[in-house]
Chain A
Amino acid sequence: MSNASNKVFAKTWMIAVYVFLYLPIITLVVFSFNDSKLVTVWSHASFRWYAALAQDSDLISAVLLSLEIAGLSALMSVFFGTFTAFALNRYKRFKGRTLLTSMSSMPLVMPDVIVGLSLLLMIVSVQNWLGFPERGLFTILLGHALLGTAYAAVVVTSRLREMDSKLDEAAMDLGCKPMQVFTLVTFPLLVPALVSAFLLTFTLSFDDVVLSSFLSGPGYSTMPMVIFSRARLGLNPTINAVATVTITVVTIAVIASSFYTSHQERKRKREEAQAYSDSNK
């Protein structure tokens, strides 16, 4: 095949992939501005469904609940995930290490349905036995934190692994007690990993529908649960509106963060080049 036709093929392929990935999303966004009550028939542009969304207290409270759960469970995940990663990385020999290693990554491969079901069974029996916890916010949080901890542990572990372990020793050598080593050296260096672990687990929790469905009680419906149940009753264009709002927020966040990281990267490259040319003077 010639070079030119290679290029044509590559381009076509790329366009096909983009269409496949983004056409549905674009359709959704466009139809959120549709005046018609039917999701698939275009009449004319309007903000009708956004107005309806503002009135839809069920959906709004579901979004707020989702945000609350995602935020809290992400915090919990990062907290426990960091400790797990630490134990696995810094303490090479302790009893049950192998068990902890495999158990901590189990939720990554276990189907959500199984995790959700087993958690539900456990919670129900604990509830029968002790009288709590009532199914609701707390139980959903528990489930999401369980799943998130596994993901956060993976993210933090990879960062810890690439960190020079001599830094800890250097800190100790210069007079740090073990706790100070953590607060003055390890923690500041972990911050980027903690942020990305937080974002990842936040997202996981925000779009989870399986675990939430198993673990929620009356009065506690997260946004994905509401969307899911409404979709089964026949789509309502309000859903398009709420999805568009979500997409907008996510897009802005993603673009901003990629701008920031590429800016940092360029700055770093420039400074390294500067150091190199300085030292050759």
Chain B
Amino acid sequence: MATAPKETNKAAQEVLLRVENVTKVYDGTVKAVDDVSLTVMKGEIFALLGGSGCGKSTLLRMMAGFETPTKGKIFLANQDITNLPPFQRPINMMFQSYALFPHLSVWENVAFGLKRDGMPKDEIADRVEKMLSLAQLNKYAKRKPHQLSGGQQQRVALVRSLAKRPQLLLLDEPLGALDKKLRETTQLELVNIIEEVGVTCVLVTHDQEEAMTMASRIAVMSEGYFLQVGAPDAVYEMPNSRKVADFIGNVNIFEGKIEEDEPDHVTVRCPECIHYVGHGVSGHPGMDVGVALRPEKIMLSKDKPNSDYNWCAGEVIEIVYFGAHTTYHLKLDSGKVIKAQELNNTRDLSCGLTWGDRAYASWNNLAMVVLTQ
């Protein structure tokens, strides 16, 4: 369901948000954010992805103005906003818990920010009307938040944060509070509304699927710093480290040494097999590397492949059926367990493998990524 990266905007892109060497230290010792720099272009949806405690929320809160950086600066459209209080920033945030005001109706919630700006009444009414129709909420205008379903509350929260036409919209785990089924539809609705308004977004999430479907660029964060920043497909297909490969999706990592190092290929000898990688890497013979291989890029068969490279054999110890695909756990002769994912493209379970069978896993010479970090 991944929507294509949205890099279609103007050729000369403007920088909207610039974070320069920002560090946040709590209680003098705990580094929540450690010397992070990033730029977000106008019109972009940028995702901060990471597990809990990786510093992504702290970074977002510093953008919103709820926290001040210990070191470093934040610029919005070339203006230093590092020490500006939240109520003076042209930035709005959609909270994970939505934080709708329970004593105000949907209409009043959306109008709340506009009233604080002293906007004339008829303009407020106009703007709120527009916002509500954007999210198809007009008929719920008089309701209180508790009279809405989860999905509706989420839309109210979104249009409330868009009502003031902020230069930057911050989304804190935008889909975190919804159940799985609702997520998929809501995700697309959310992206559609955001694109219609054309606002620049920074979103925080721990859910890689959410980051990949919504964002045009992703920063993978761990222990307060960025591991990798890039488009979703780049981060997925070309992770730059074991941590990123492991965090985004499932991955099998083979540890080995570079044997041959040619401009057009490399071979890596691992205890389980020899990898023939069909492109050059920045390494040298004898170097310890990891070879990352995604489960969906592995083919399984009962027959031994007739090649010297890129296959290994093992026993099927676990079969996990997901409906659209099945994941097989293969215990290799070395004792290592790898996962292989087969698409269920016919209704009989295609490759006919069952528990205890000996199976051969093979893959294409462009399927893997050599990790030097």
Contact = CB atoms under 8 A, between A and B. Distances in A.
Nearest to B92: A173
Given A164-B99, A169-B95, A174 B116 contact: yes
Contacts of B151: 279
Chain B CB within 10 Å — which of A173, A268, A272, A274 has the most?
A173
Interface stretch (A75-83, A153-161, A175-183, A206-214): A175-183
Contact size range, B = 20 to 34
Contact of B149 (A175, A176, A180, A278): A278
A275 B103 contact: no
B275 interface: no
Interface stretch (B140-148, B218-226, B308-316): B140-148
B93 interface: yes
B321 interface: no
Contacts of A65: none
B152 interface: yes
B293 interface: no
B187 interface: no
Nearest to A172: B86
B164 A174 contact: yes
Contact of A189 (B103, B144, B149, B160): B103
Interface string A253-281: 00000000000000010011011101100
A174 B94 CA distance: 10
A173 B117 CA distance: 12
B93 A173 contact: yes
Given A169-B95, A173-B92, A174-B164, A275 B152 contact: yes
A172 B85 CA distance: 9
Interface string B152-164: 1000000011001
Given A167-B101, A180-B116, A275-B152, A172 B147 contact: no
A167 B112 CA distance: 12
A178 B225 CA distance: 32
A111 interface: no
A59 to B, nearest CB: 43
Nearest to B116: A175
B99 A166 contact: yes
A131 interface: no
Interface in B72-110: 85-87, 91-93, 95-97, 99-103
B92 A164 contact: no
B66 A189 contact: no
Interface in A165-212: 166-167, 169-177, 180, 184-185, 188-189
Contacts of B152: 275, 279
Interface string B313-345: 000000000000000000000000000000000
A275 B116 contact: no
A189 B87 CA distance: 21
B146 A170 contact: no
A279 B154 CA distance: 13
Contacts of B370: none
B123 to A, nearest CB: 15
A265 to B, nearest CB: 12
Contact of B164 (A175, A177, A185): A175
A169 B146 contact: no
Contacts of B100: 170
Interface string B29-69: 00000000000000000000000000000000000111000
A90 to B, nearest CB: 14
Nearest to A280: B149
Contacts of B93: 169-170, 173
A275 B152 CA distance: 9
Interface string B6-24: 0000000000000000000
Given A272-B147, A275-B147, 7 more contacts: A169-B86, A170-B100, A171-B101, A172-B85, A174-B160, A175-B164, A275-B149
A-B pairs with lowest CB-CB distance, top 5: A279-B149, A175-B116, A174-B113, A170-B99, A166-B99
11 contacts: A166-B99, A169-B93, A173-B65, A173-B93, A174-B164, A176-B116, A177-B87, A180-B116, A189-B103, A279-B149, A279-B151
Interface of A: 164, 166-167, 169-177, 180, 184-185, 188-189, 268, 271-272, 274-276, 278-279
Interface of B: 64-66, 85-87, 91-93, 95-97, 99-103, 112-113, 116-117, 143-144, 146-152, 160-161, 164
